Structure 1
Amino acid sequence: MQQQMIDLEGPYRLLYCSSKGDKDGVIQEIEKGVSPNLADYDKRTALHLASCEGCTEVVDLLLEQGADVNSIDRWGRTPLSDARIFGHEEICKILEGRGGTDPVGLDSQSPCYEIDHTEVEMDGATLIGEGAYGEVYLVKWRGTEVAAKTIRSSIASNFRVKATFMKELALWQRLRHPNIVQFLGVLKHSERLIFLTEYLRNGSLYDILKKKGRFDPPTTVAYALDIARGMNYLHEHKPHAIIHRDLTPRNVLQDEAGHLKVTDFGLSKIAQEKGAYGYKMTGGTGSFRYMAPEVYRREAYGKSVDVFSFALIVHEMFQGGPSNKAEPPEEVADRRAYEDSRPSLSSFIYPEDFKT
């Protein structure tokens, strides 16, 4: 894990700088000999990220340095596909002028990508878990193992609720980040409402903690950074921030490379404007053990509710499990909300910097 942390400061800095529009940082990495076609686990290159985030100068620079204009990520999308999804017209023109193509065509601009139900065999599918809205199955789609998440009939049968849910899935479809689980599409003409996401065979952070117990500090830092990067991407999303609202170890999955990805935005809402406070969330929504006090008290809230949940997850990685494990989750949430109760930070376990 220490080596992994060093690597993140190494060649992968090119990807980070490209996504942030840091032209000088990109130049520094290329001068070090880093390939402009370096890709992450999801086969997303610096050009994908710059196109996605609307970083025009970095797109020009990467193309000048020999970046492949038609590099294809794990989901069959090129940099042009990403530029079109987010409406970056100037970048679209630049990429098209360099011979860029969009193999997914209109799929990249549709409200929510639909997959014909005949492409996925649900009969005999392996049950691998239960999510916030229904069961999760392991299935094959176009030769690849993916997760099929079924939606409870109480949601699928309510037109208004289903419409809201589909709108949130369409939002999820637009997200592209190494630390966010990729949404693939919704099965159409299905009696049930089923959507597909990438399948991460290593399971959830909850499973890992249950199996291995507490992590050492380098592992905790590496994992915390993975979660923080994914959450920062959601919180800095334009034009509106995305608040997860149900960030728990069960909603953080591990890929084959050992990196963590945040999933399940079914409870997320879009803040109306940056730093806006206005949504109210019922105390029964989300997971009590990781719930911020203002949410439990049914008060207006902002992005900080995710920060509270994140802190509890980091605490749990040091501890090897949740604090107050023997207490009912709702009682724990109640004491945090009304008695200002917080988990203890033993000097024996937590280095001073972490406690701060």
Structure 2
Amino acid sequence: MESLEETELCFPQLLNSSCVKPKSSQFDTMLTYIILSCISLLTVSLNLLVIISVSYFKQLHSPTNLLVLSLAVSDFFMGLLTLSKIMLIEGCWYIGDVMCSLGQYLEYIISSVSVGTMVLISIDRYVAICDPMHYSTKVTQKRAKVCVCLCWSCSVIFQSLILMENLIQPGRYNSCFGECIVVINYIAGVADTIFSFILPIIAIVVLYMRVFVVAVSQARAMRSHITTVTVQGSRKVTAKKSELKAARTLGVVVTVFLMCFCPFYCVSLSSKDDLMNSSSAAFVLSLFSFNACLNPLIYALFYPWFRKSIKVIVSLKILQPDSCEANVM
């Protein structure tokens, strides 16, 4: 049996009330520190560039980009919250039960917002591709703003109900000082699974399957030379190509999101133990957090406007008068 001197405690001054630090090699701990710190820094920096680009340049003020902005804001905060996970690498939580519950609460909200925004993006692309004639009247800047506000508001209210017990009495499920455990009761867990996982996934998959089918048929129609080559006709074809490209790019975003998102709920549904204490859950939580870093990289790969706006921001041309009117498309 190990002696007290050989056992490392999270709070040595509390003796028997303190949690015991799990044993891990110094190399693994330092490697995890470095990886999580890099992911967090990269996530915050890249999403901040997206937020500045879409918010500042007037050419980018469109309903679709407003949804991209909402996703970037949630990803930005996910990057900041990744920093809090660094404290759990050594197996101890040092900043109190209130901050533990608040951190988990914010993470649930941001995750819920990300899911809701993905559904909105799928609806936006569905209308743009499947009903292009009425897209400009159905999807307006004002309606997009209302939908984004509702998404954030509903996420805050819903997660407040889900995590009510943990918010009212932080640390109620901790067995010792230095733990950070959040437990959701069965009914709340079922509700969260249905509304934050099953229904959104069904909606996203169904909408994008329909978008894919229509997009393929439109692409084939554009390859054939049925359309008469006129100025008006060429403009229509250009508009269609633009919409198809946007659908493809956002389709990649949605696909990557599902790949990073689904494992989290698969582990949560199959695991009876607390997620934060499971090694497999630690991996899927990191994967879900890493998704927030991938979205701006996808934009940089597929969107010329994002690359152009980054050049303007990094070169500090954004400080020039009327730079918000710059042509970044």
**TM-score between both structures, scaled by the size of structure 2:** 0.24
Higher Rg: 2
Choose between structure 1 and 2 for higher RCO, CA contacts under 8 A separated by at least 6 residues: 2
- Which one has a larger percent helix, Structure 1 or Structure 2? 2
